[in-house]
Amino acid sequence: MSKQKINLGDEAAQNTVALTAMMGLAREDLMGAVALMMREVTAKPATTTKHLKALGDDVVKILKNESDLAPEAKDKRFLDITFKYNPIYRMGMQYYLAVQKNVGTWLADLDLDEMEKARATFVSQMIIDSISPTNTLVGNPAAIKRAYESGGMSLIKGLQNAYRDITENGGQVSQVDKRPFKVGENLATSKGAVVYKTDMMELIQYSPATEQVHAIPFLIIPPQINKAYVNDLSPDKSIVRFLGSLGLTTFLVSWRNPRVEHRNWGLAEYVDELIKASDVILEITKSKKLNVSGACSGGITTATFLSKLASMGDNRVNAVSLMVNVLDPQKDDSEVGALVSEHGIELARQRSAKKGILEGDSLGRMFAWMRPNDLIWNYVINNYLMGQDPPPFDVLFWNNDTTNLPAKLHSDYLDMYPKQPFANPGQVEFAGHIVDLTKVTNDLFVIAGVTDHITPWKACYRTTQLVGSPNIEFILSHSGHIQALLNPPGNPKSKYYRNEGKPPPTTDEWMAGATEVPGSWWLLWGEWLKARSGAMKAAPAEVGNKNHPAGDAAPGRYAFND
């Protein structure tokens, strides 16, 4: 695998599909932003003329070889040395950068409100990214060199890759070479079996890895917007295997990929399934308690599950882990949040209601266009212009193994913006009950990622102020969204930040008292879980019991349901 492929995989792994992509980013609003910019051009010609003159001045400097315009250090598009020494390519690059700079200053000069400016900036940057000279063969010296060195074979391979994407990938540029991966063969290989199954989910119990196990079992609650096997992705980064090595009896919910006929599955129904699943777990293990974890949108389901149990006076859950998860999304959390409007939310709700589902492919396409340089143009250059295969990266294989969302669940997720059920305890009916996380008093472990732009860490931190838990551990991993989750011991670059005191009201206060710790946070989490998992007992000889015998081998059938 080439260095470029590795970089492509690492970059895209930071941009996995998440809840932000479904929160009402309406194309009508984006087209409205274009119309608004055109209106400003005609309504305020003096402003437009000023910035056109500034662009003209930049062009004159470029032609006279007096321009100092240069790409930002993080912009990888112009790394080829040709852009530095070839005057034609240097001028082309600088002209593009001049357009980019002057469009930005023009937008900053327009009299727009915050949301209008955010949308206009988003749309204009998307357009500017698309016209980068590096996206074309003639404007990309590295691609021309490769074509020459390969005798034109790179161009033929690029055409083959483009044809394959058109015929086999819904017209989307491929982010991953899927051929090396087989679920159940080299992904999701931990031993176990389905011990309970409904139309909505399969409950998998994994075989013990130690002679003795803790009395309190552990349940992983995955997101509904991705397949559950990310928790057992590969042997070297399997959460399931790590938990088994600690002597924990581990269960995993594997959600079914819903179809149109499942349009009425909402968050309340998913929570009810978790109650049934936990009943089965307690029966199989003969325990009165279980520990649970939820990541990303699975954390929303987990928090709702906990709130529902608290409203029922049910104390079956012992300790809780929430990972890269935002419970009270706010518009200033991310670039996407600034684009969300009530109008957009309602349009998104209406569209999925009409179809019955929010299709996984559509969700992936929408998310890709939110970060086109990272998730589209990088791959256009690599796959089509350079004629290289995308990287065979297990995280990207999983991320591209998309699932649908039922219309009702999508609607429930959309309600989180206007209703803020978790941030308004005892005031909002959500998922069939009045939500109140202040009644949730379980010991809580929260993990977030420093460079996570999908669930920003400061937004994740707010969870510590929403719950009634007296004992909360907040850990900040020095990584992005998926790397914060899949962070096994052994990486010499791994580190995290910890503040051992009670989480203060603000992130600034927390960070002021935090210390940097080398290594993986999994080790700390493992100690935390073992201290809350009860006494040791002999491991069961087999999974399940008489009432819930072992069925299909892990990862179950729903891992393949597409």
Going by C-alpha positions, the residue among 489, 404, 400, 486 that lies closest to residue 183 is 400
For this structure, is 460 an active site residue?
Answer: no
Helices in 131-223 by DSSP H: which ranges? 141-149, 153-168
Catalytic residue chosen out of the listed positions 200, 252, 281, 296: 296
Tokens of 326: 């935002």
Cα 222 to Cα 194, 352, 404: the distances in Å are 16, 22, 14
Q: Which residues of 196-206 are buried (b: 16+ CB within 10 A; e: fewer)?
A: bbeebbbbbbb
| CA-based nearest residue to 521, from 491, 553, 487 | 487
Which residues lie closer than 8 Å to 425 by C-beta, 6 or more apart?
A: 435, 436, 437, 438, 439, 466
Q: How deeply is 435 buried, as exposed, middle or buried, from its count of CB atoms within 10 A (0-12, 13-18, 19+)?
A: buried
CB contact at 8 A, 25 and 414: no
Among the listed residues 333, 347, 320, the one whose alpha carbon sits nearest the alpha carbon of residue 441: 320
- Give buried/exposed letters for 96-125 (b at 16+ CB in 10 A, else e): bbbebebbeebbeebebeeebbbbbbbbbb
How far apart CA 495 and CA 500 sit, in angstroms, is 16
Tally of CA atoms within 13 A in the half-sphere of 559 that contains its CB: 26
Confirm if 310 and 439 have CB atoms less than 8 A apart.
yes
The residues annotated as belonging to the active site are: 296
